[in-house]
Chains A and B, each alone.
Chain A
Amino acid sequence: MTRIYVPRDSSALALGADALADAIKAEAARRGIAIDLIRNGSRGLLWLEPLVEVQTAEGRVGYANVEESDVGALFDAGFVDGGEHARRVGVVDEIPYLKKQQRLTFARIGITDPLSTDDYVAHGGLEGLRQALQTDGDAACEALIESGLRGRGGAAFPAGIKWRTVRAAKAAQKYIVCNADEGDSGTFSDRLVMESDPYVLIEGMIIAGVVTGATAGYIYVRSEYPHSIATLEAAIAKARAAGWLGDSVLGSAHRFELFVAKGAGSYVCGEETALLESLEGKRGIVRAKPPVPALVGLYGQPTVINNVITLATVPIIFARGAAFYKDFGMGRSRGTLPFQLAGNVKQGGLVELAFGVTLRELIHDYGGGTASGRPARAVQVGGPLGTYLPESQWDIPMDYEAYAAVGAVVGHGGLVVHDDTSNLAELAQYAMHFCALESCGKCTPCRIGSTRGVEVIARIRNGDTSKRQVQLLRDLCDTMVSGSLCAMGGMTPYPVLSALDHFPEDFGLADARADAPKAAA
């Protein structure tokens, strides 16, 4: 019986994968062909979705961008045996986009059925947890520090140090919280983990619980991700039934329970302290730090709060060892980062590579240039709070420190490509507008500054390009950067100032940098 794979992640669903799967089943039945249709996760080659795969002797053969109306012709072409057809893209593992990647965190996505515990274990799942259960907690924290894993949500804080702090804290109840409030435009790696390999996140959270002594975990998922929520809930129920969760994790003395909490459409809840407030059922208002959540977190208890990718990377580090992971990357940026090619790019998708790759390689070698076919002009790296990089900066290696040196952020590894029809002044105004919409309102620079920012950029765009206006915008940005409580207000100036510095012509300015203070130049 031929195995046919039709992805079930939301990207494939958004392009009609459910109807497609039904059509394939119906056509197979009509022709009397026995097939085993598996709903796998996405391979992350999103521009090929829906990507149907057929198990053949030479490997899994892919058919890309398949529509319901293609099904009859595919059967006519003998696709059940890997037959030739215009949609055929060959053996999926051999597609250079995928083959050249270094998939560690995403080793399983698209290959397995996301909800099959057997599939997960057959593909290396639980090896990390079994190691962690045999390792002393202090040594486990040291190993995580040694691996060099830093928070993948954007802040890049060493994960092992956070874990060690929580482990050392004395409390009756500790928590593991997963930040799955992936609200940054241009990012979807968290979503891919949750929808295509949820058990790797669950395993990472259990390891965090075992190591730090926390017995309860929460995954805070944004409400815009209903498919992620449904997949996680189904996976948690199966993990509980399999004895991975509950009073005795894999038969050990460790207890760990896991719950999904649903966000409610607030961007700032991606900030860790606002997330904790929201998880407690309150308005998502940022808390002042210190105290850090590792000591005073959820309900005032010591809490590990890590992003999805950070936690999903933990299992392979424990399974293969700190040295294996550390071997990837450069400088103080160790391991791999799942880059997300998004926006105006021909071949959008997930590209997991070691740190050190350049933006140019990602956009051209992987992305294949823009979707529009026009020249790429600016790339925003790191989400709505990241800078716009002009072509002159596309050869900087992707490394936290190298990016920081030019005032940019690697962030969550999301890249949004804009072509030469883009207007960076408009995008800068939008950045301020978005901050005004989403500010929690606690601190003045963010709450008021964002609205004033929209106004001053509008004035400049409407023709008041006097030095006074530009200076006003710079002063406002300076106040927001220095005076905001969290990254929402503190980093909204990044896209604004980078647009102003690198694309002054979009603001109607000859060269804005002539007005820039020396220190900032």
Chain B
Amino acid sequence: MDDLIAFAPEQLVERHALPGKSLLAVLHAIQDELGYVPPATVPSLARVMNLSRAEVHGVITYYHHFRTSPAAPVTVQLCRAEACRSMGTEALAHHIEARTGCRFDAGHETGDAVELESVYCLGQCALSPAMMVNGTLHAKVTPQKFDAIFAAASKCVEVTA
């Protein structure tokens, strides 16, 4: 997978591992640029940050936010926490799974068009249920509204491709 992407782990790390930055901040910078943190960066990160590889790997895998492979072209993050539950997010999740043919939190294979991810609170608890599609926030989501947003996101991906 990694060899398909044109990047040099050492240069990537050196570009972002600026003095005074914490490992977390460096990982954010890498993911912001590339969309994920390639496992091949771990040795360089360990060397530059003066940490063991285990420590770097530990931080990457501890936090839900960091991913070690690129996201699917359409990534749906649905809030599954209490406020959204009280407004039917579980029924909406079933609808989304049926509509997309994917399962929540099952990851995705290379080439999959869609990834479904459960998240816990997007801070829109008075306008539940809430979700993010490719980083764009949506509130008061209904099955019909999801279908429209999903169709638009899928179309947008096709056009870009």
- Chain B contacts of A438 at CB under 8 A? 120
Closest B residue to A225 by beta carbon equals B123
A interface residues (Cβ-Cβ under 8 A, vs B):
10-11, 13-15, 46-47, 49, 182-188, 191, 223-227, 261-267, 278-284, 340-345, 348-349, 371, 380, 384, 414, 416-419, 422, 427, 430, 434, 437-438
Specify which of A183, A226, A340 is in contact with B120 (CB 8 Å cutoff).
Answer: A183
CA distance A282 to B28 in the complex (A): 13
Determine whether the beta carbon of A340 is less than 8 Å from that of B23: no
Known interface pairs A264-B24, A342-B128, A343-B87. Does A224 touch B82 (Cβ–Cβ under 8 Å)?
no
Q: Do A283 and B62 touch (CB < 8 A)?
A: yes
**Is there an interface contact between A343 and B86, defined as CB atoms closer than 8 Å?**
yes
A345 to B86, CA, bound (A): 9
Q: Which residues of B contact A414 (CB under 8 A)?
A: 125
Which residues of chain B from 123 to 148 have any CB-CB distance to chain A below 8 Å in the complex? 123-128, 130, 135, 137-140
Q: Give min CB distance, A374 to chain B, whole Å.
A: 11
How many Å lie between the Cα of A280 and that of B22 in the bound state? 6
Can you list 26 A-B contacts with CB-CB less than 8 angstroms, sorted by A residue number?
Answer: A11-B124, A11-B126, A11-B127, A11-B139, A14-B124, A49-B127, A182-B123, A183-B121, A184-B121, A224-B121, A226-B135, A261-B22, A261-B24, A264-B24, A264-B64, A266-B64, A279-B24, A281-B26, A283-B63, A284-B62, A340-B125, A342-B126, A343-B82, A344-B86, A384-B82, A416-B125
Kindly list chain A residues whose C-beta atoms are within 8 Å of the C-beta of B23: 281-282
Shortest beta-carbon distance, B139 to chain A, in Å?
4
Task: Check B137 against A10 for contact (C-beta < 8 Å).
Answer: yes
Q: Does B59 contact A (CB under 8 A)?
A: yes
Given contacts A182-B123, A188-B123, A188-B124, 19 further A-B contacts (CB under 8 A): A11-B126, A14-B127, A14-B130, A14-B137, A14-B138, A15-B139, A188-B125, A191-B123, A264-B24, A265-B64, A267-B120, A281-B49, A343-B82, A343-B86, A344-B87, A348-B126, A348-B127, A414-B125, A418-B86
Complex-state Cα separation, A418 to B89, whole angstroms = 13
- Whether the Cβ atoms of B121 and A185 lie closer than 8 Å is yes
Among residues of A, the one whose C-beta sits closest to the C-beta of B77 is: A224
User: Nearest Cβ distance between residue A225 and chain B, in whole angstroms?
Assistant: 6
Inside 8 A of B85's CB, which chain A residues have their CB?
Answer: 427, 430
Contact indicator B65/A185 (Cβ below 8 Å): no
| B13 close to chain A: CB less than 8 A | no
Chain B residue at minimal CB-CB distance from A438: B120
**Inside 8 A of A225's CB, which chain B residues have their CB?**
123
* Most chain A beta-carbon neighbours within 10 Å: one of B49, B63, B82: B82
When the two chains form their complex, are residues A343 and B28 in contact, meaning their CB atoms are under 8 A apart?
no
**Which of chain B's residues have a CB closer than 8 A to the CB of A187?**
123, 125
Query: B80: nearest residue on chain A (CB-CB)?
Result: A430
Closest 7 pairs (CB-CB, A-B):
A348-B126, A281-B22, A185-B81, A264-B63, A342-B125, A265-B64, A265-B65
Which single member of A15, A261, A265 contacts B127 (CB below 8 Å)?
A15
Which among B66, B130, B137 has the highest number of chain A CB atoms within 10 Å? B137
Contact B126 A46 (CB under 8 A): yes
B84 interface residue (CB < 8 Å to A): yes
Of A188, A263, A281, chain B has the most CB atoms within 10 Å of the CB of A281
| B114 at interface by CB-CB < 8 Å | no
Q: Do residues A265 and B63 form an inter-chain contact, with CB atoms below 8 A? A: yes
In the complex, the answer to whether B124 meets A186 with C-beta atoms within 8 Å is no
Whether the Cβ atoms of B120 and A281 lie closer than 8 Å is no
Chain A nearest CB: distance from B119 CB in Å?
7
The reply to whether B126 and A47 form a contact with Cβ atoms under 8 Å apart is yes
B65 and A223 contact, CB distance less than 8 A: yes
B122 CB within 8 Å of chain A: yes
Cβ of A47: which chain B residues have Cβ within 8 Å of it? 126-127
Q: Which residues of A contact B49 (CB under 8 A)?
A: 281
Question: At the interface, yes or no: B30 with Cβ under 8 Å from chain A?
Answer: no
Query: What CA separation (Å) do A271 and B27 show in the bound complex?
Result: 22
Report the minimal beta-carbon distance from A347 to chain B, rounded to whole angstroms: 9
Interfacial chain B residues near A340, Cβ < 8 Å: 125-126
Minimum CB–CB distance for A11 against chain B, Å: 6
Find chain B residues with CB under 8 A from A183 CB: 120-121
State the CA gap A341–B138 with chains docked (Å). Answer: 19
B76 at the interface (CB under 8 A from A): no
